Structure 1
Amino acid sequence: MKQNENLSALSAAGVSVWLDDLSRDLISSGRLAELVGTRSVVGVTTNPSIFQAALSSGTAYDEQVTSLATQGADVDTVIRTTTTDDVRSACDVLQPVFAASDEVDGRVSIEVDPRLAHDADATVAQAIELWKVVDRPNLLIKIPATIAGLDAIRRVIAEGISVNVTLIFSVERYAQVMQSYLEGLAEAAEKGHDLSTIHSVASFFVSRVDTEIDGRLAKLGTPQALELQGKAALANARLAYAEYLKVFSSGDRFAELAGRGARPQRALWASTGVKNPDYPDTLYVSDLVAPDTVNTMPAATMEAFADHGRVEKDSVIGRAEESAEIFRGLEQVGVDLAEVFAKLEAEGVSKFEVAWAELLQATSEQIDAHKAG
C-alpha cells in the first residue's frame, strides 16, 4: 500500500491524522487497516452520534445483540458490550502505530455516557469502568469540558487514565482544561503512577463556531459584520494554540512535570468537516497546520484533503495577534462571544444526549424483536 501524498505531507508537518468514525464493518472489512496504510491514519475518535449511526444501520451487530438478549442483557449492557468490543478491536488494529510512535498515536477514543456530562462523580466512575473493560493502553476516555467535566478530567488523569477532553469551544475553557490536566498529572505522580504512560488530547471544536457566529453576523448585516464571516473559527483555534505553547513549551509548571516523564496534552482540531458549501472543503485542515497537533476528520473531509488538500505551514503559528484582532472586531459589531460559546457547549451536550437516546431506542427495539420472535 502507498500513502497518499497530501496526507503524508500533513503528517510530516506535525499533524496526526485521526479518523472521526468507527463501525464494525470498518474494522472487519479491513478498511480501517487500509486507511492506516494509505491515508496516514494514526488514530480514531468516536462519539454517541457515530455509535448511533453504526448500530442503527446494517446487520453487523444483529448476531451479537441477539446473543446478548438471549442471555438477558438489558439495553445499557448491550450498548456497552458492542461499543467497547468495537473500540477494543480498533485499538488492536492501531497497536503497531501505537508502538511505532512511542505511544503518542495509535489511539482510539470512547466517550462516557453524555447524560453524565454534568455529574463529575458518575463520569469518573464510568471512565474507570470503561478503561478496565476495554483494557488497552492505547485507549482514550472522552470527557466533555463542562464545569463538572473539569473536575472529572483531573480526577481521571490522577488515576493514570488517558483522556480525550471533548466539546471545547472557547480559549478560556481550554485554559481551564489544561490546568485540570496539569493538576491531574501532579496527583498521579503523588500516587506513584508513571507519568509517561498518561496521554491526553484537548478536542477544540472548529466548524460549529463559524456556523453559529456566521449566522449572527448575517443577521447584523452590516458591511463590517459580513466582512468577518468565515474568520471566527480559525481565529479561535489559533488563539487556542498560542495558549497551548504558553503552557507546554514555556510554562514552568509543565516543565517540572515533564522532568518526571509527563507528556504535553496535544491540541486536537475536531468538527473539521466544513458546514458552509461556500468555504473550501479542506479549510479546517489546510488552515490549521501546526506541530504536535491532531486533526480528526470525517471520512469525506479526509478524502477531500487526499484529493486536493494543501499544507499551509504558516497557517497557525505567529497569527495570535491577527486572530485577537478578529475577536475584537466581532465584539465591536455586537457578537456576544461568551453567549456563543455557552450555547455551543450546551448544544454539543444535547446533541450527544439525543444521539444516545436514539441509540437506546433502536437497541431496545432489537431486543424486543428478539423476545417476540
Structure 2
Amino acid sequence: MKPTQQLHQLGQSLWLDNITRDILDNGTLRRYIEELSVTGLTSNPTIFDGAIGSGHAYDAGIHEKARAGLSGEALFMELALEDLRRAADLFQPVFTASDQRDGWVSMEVSPLLASDTAGSIQAARDIHRQAARANLFVKIPGTPEGLPAIEEAIFAGIPINVTLLFSRGQYLAAAEAYLRGIERRVQAKLDPRVGSVASVFVSRWDVAIKDKVPAELRNKLGIAVAQETYQAYRAMLASPRWRALADAGARVQRLLWASTGTKDPSASDTLYVEALAAPDTVDTMPEKTLLAFGQHGSLKGVMAEDGGDAADMLAAFTKAGIDLDALASQLQKEGAKSFVASWQQLLQRIADKTAELVRAAS
C-alpha cells in the first residue's frame, strides 16, 4: 500500500498545495487523485504568480479578458476561478461521497482587505457567487482583523479556509469565530452545515529560529507547536459546546497542516508529513513534498491526542531564549505582509503580460 494511501486510510486528507493550468490540461492533477489519494487542493497568489510567469498557458486567457475590458484584480479573479472550477469539478465525486467533508479547493480574498472587515465579507460573497461551486473555500487570514470577517462569513453560509494561523492560541481564536458563526446560524434556524478548515503553518517556525537554537532543537519547534494545537483541536471536538452543534447537524472545522515542505536541505524531505499524521485533519503539501512522500515516505506513527511531548519540547525552546508568543505574532504579521507583496507582484505580472500580448497582437 502506498504511503499516501496509508495516510488516507488513517483519516487524514491529502491536498495539493498547487494549481496550474498545465497540471489541469495534461492530466497530472487527475493522476494525483487516482494514484496518490489527493482529495483537494489549495492556492495562493504566489502559486498563481509562478504559474502565470512560468510559461504561456495563461496567455490566451489574459488576452481574451483584457480585450473584454478586464484588468487588475477582476482579470485575475476570472483567470484563477477558471482553473479552480475545473479542479472543483475533478474533486466533486469526493465532495459528494464524503458528504461535503472533503473534495475542496480554495481561493483567497485580496490581502489588501486584511484590515477591512466589511470589504472582506463582501469579497468572500463575491468569490463564492462568482465561483459557482459548492466545494470552494474562500480563504480569509485568521489575524485579529480577519476574525470578525470569518465569523460573519460563516454566519452568511460561506465556506471558509482560515489561513495564516501559527499557534494554538491563534487556532483557538479562529475556532471561536467559526463556532460563534455556527451558533448564530442555529439560533436563526439556518442550516448549520457550513464547511471550514483552520490552516496552521508549520515549517516557518523552524526557518525563523534555525540559527538561534542548539543543533539538537533544529526542525523540532514547528512539530511541537502542531502537537500542542492538535491537543486543543481534539479537546474542542470533545467539548459539550461542539457536541451540541454537531447534534444540530454542524460540520467540524477540520485542522489543516500548511507549510509542510521541508526547508532545511539537511533534513528529510518528508519530515513534516510523517510527523503530522493525524486522523480528522488535512495535510496540504507542495507538489515536491507529495511526490517525495509517495515515493519513499512512511507512516511511522500517529500524533498523540494529548499532545505527546509537546509541553516539554516547547519548554526547551523557551529555555533556549525563544519567546513563543511573540514569535507566533511575528510570523502571522510577516505572513500577512508576504501575502500583500505576492498579491502586488501578481497584479504587476498580469499587467506586464497584458501589455506584452497587446503589443504582440498589434
Q: In the alignment, which of 124, 129, 132 is matched to residue 126 of structure 2?
A: 129
Residue 216 of structure 2 corresponds to residue 216 of structure 1:
no
2:165 aligns with 168
1:252 aligns with 240
Counterpart of 1:326 in structure 2: which amino acid?
Answer: M
* Residues in 2 aligned to 1:318 and 1:283: alpha-carbon distance in whole angstroms: 21
Task: Quickly say closer, same or farther: Cα 1:317–1:256, change in 2 above 3 A.
Answer: closer
Q: In the alignment, which of 101, 104, 124 is matched to residue 101 of structure 2?
A: 104
Counterpart of 2:330 in structure 1: which amino acid?
Answer: K
Shift of residue 350, structure 1, vs aligned partner: 1.6
Counterpart of 1:51 in structure 2: which amino acid?
Answer: F
Shift of residue 120, structure 1, vs aligned partner: 1.5
Equivalent pair of 1:69/1:370 in contact (CA under 8 Å) = no
Counterpart of 1:308 in structure 2: which amino acid?
Answer: H
2:203 aligns with 207
Counterpart of 1:338 in structure 2: which amino acid?
Answer: D
Shift of residue 118, structure 1, vs aligned partner: 2.2
* Residues in 2 aligned to 1:365 and 1:314: alpha-carbon distance in whole angstroms: 48
Residue 347 of structure 2 corresponds to residue 360 of structure 1:
yes
Counterpart of 2:300 in structure 1: which amino acid?
Answer: E
* Residues in 1 aligned to 2:189 and 2:350: alpha-carbon distance in whole angstroms: 41
Equivalent pair of 2:234/2:305 in contact (CA under 8 Å) = no
Equivalent pair of 1:271/1:297 in contact (CA under 8 Å) = yes
Q: What per-residue deviation string (whole Å, max 9, x for no partner) do you get for residues 90-125 of structure 1?
A: 111111111111211110011111111222221111
Shift of residue 189, structure 1, vs aligned partner: 2.2
Residue 11 of structure 2 corresponds to residue 14 of structure 1:
yes
Counterpart of 2:135 in structure 1: which amino acid?
Answer: N
1:293 aligns with 281
Shift of residue 349, structure 1, vs aligned partner: 1.2
Q: What per-residue deviation string (whole Å, max 9, x for no partner) do you get for residues 284-331 of structure 1?
A: 1111111101000001101111111111233333444x1011111211
SS in 1 for 2:146: helix
Equivalent pair of 2:128/2:158 in contact (CA under 8 Å) = yes
* Residues in 2 aligned to 1:39 and 1:327: alpha-carbon distance in whole angstroms: 34
Equivalent pair of 1:287/1:316 in contact (CA under 8 Å) = no
Equivalent pair of 1:239/1:323 in contact (CA under 8 Å) = yes
1:272 aligns with 260
Q: What per-residue deviation string (whole Å, max 9, x for no partner) do you get for residues 214-260 of structure 1?
A: 2321xxxxxxx443222111110000000001111x21111111111
Equivalent pair of 1:235/1:326 in contact (CA under 8 Å) = yes
The worse-fitting range, judged by mean Cα deviation, of 325-334 and 150-159 is 325-334
Shift of residue 46, structure 1, vs aligned partner: 0.4
SS in 2 for 1:268: strand
Counterpart of 2:169 in structure 1: which amino acid?
Answer: E
1:235 aligns with 224
Equivalent pair of 2:63/2:358 in contact (CA under 8 Å) = no
TM-score normalized by structure 2? 0.96
Q: How many residues align?
A: 360
SS in 1 for 2:56: coil
Counterpart of 2:136 in structure 1: which amino acid?
Answer: L
* Residues in 1 aligned to 2:68 and 2:293: alpha-carbon distance in whole angstroms: 45
* Residues in 1 aligned to 2:143 and 2:2: alpha-carbon distance in whole angstroms: 38
2:47 aligns with 50
Equivalent pair of 1:213/1:340 in contact (CA under 8 Å) = no
SS in 2 for 1:240: helix
Equivalent pair of 2:166/2:332 in contact (CA under 8 Å) = yes
Equivalent pair of 2:230/2:307 in contact (CA under 8 Å) = no
Counterpart of 1:277 in structure 2: which amino acid?
Answer: P
Q: What per-residue deviation string (whole Å, max 9, x for no partner) do you get for residues 167-221 of structure 1?
A: 100111111111111001012223443222x11111110100111122321xxxx
2:330 aligns with 343
Residue 310 of structure 2 corresponds to residue 323 of structure 1:
yes
Counterpart of 1:363 in structure 2: which amino acid?
Answer: I
* Residues in 1 aligned to 2:146 and 2:159: alpha-carbon distance in whole angstroms: 14
Task: Quickly say closer, same or farther: Cα 1:365–1:314, change in 2 above 3 A.
Answer: closer
Equivalent pair of 1:203/1:270 in contact (CA under 8 Å) = yes
TM-score normalized by structure 1? 0.93
SS in 1 for 2:212: helix
* Residues in 2 aligned to 1:32 and 1:230: alpha-carbon distance in whole angstroms: 30
Equivalent pair of 1:13/1:313 in contact (CA under 8 Å) = no
SS in 2 for 1:182: helix
Counterpart of 1:324 in structure 2: which amino acid?
Answer: A
Q: What per-residue deviation string (whole Å, max 9, x for no partner) do you get for residues 29-86 of structure 1?
A: 2211111000100000001111111122211111111111112212222111101111
Unaligned runs of 5+ in 2: none
Counterpart of 2:303 in structure 1: which amino acid?
Answer: S
Counterpart of 1:79 in structure 2: which amino acid?
Answer: F
2:179 aligns with 182
Counterpart of 1:300 in structure 2: which amino acid?
Answer: K
1:221 aligns with none
Equivalent pair of 1:94/1:106 in contact (CA under 8 Å) = yes
Counterpart of 2:316 in structure 1: which amino acid?
Answer: G
Over aligned residue pairs, what C-alpha RMSD do you find? Answer: 1.3
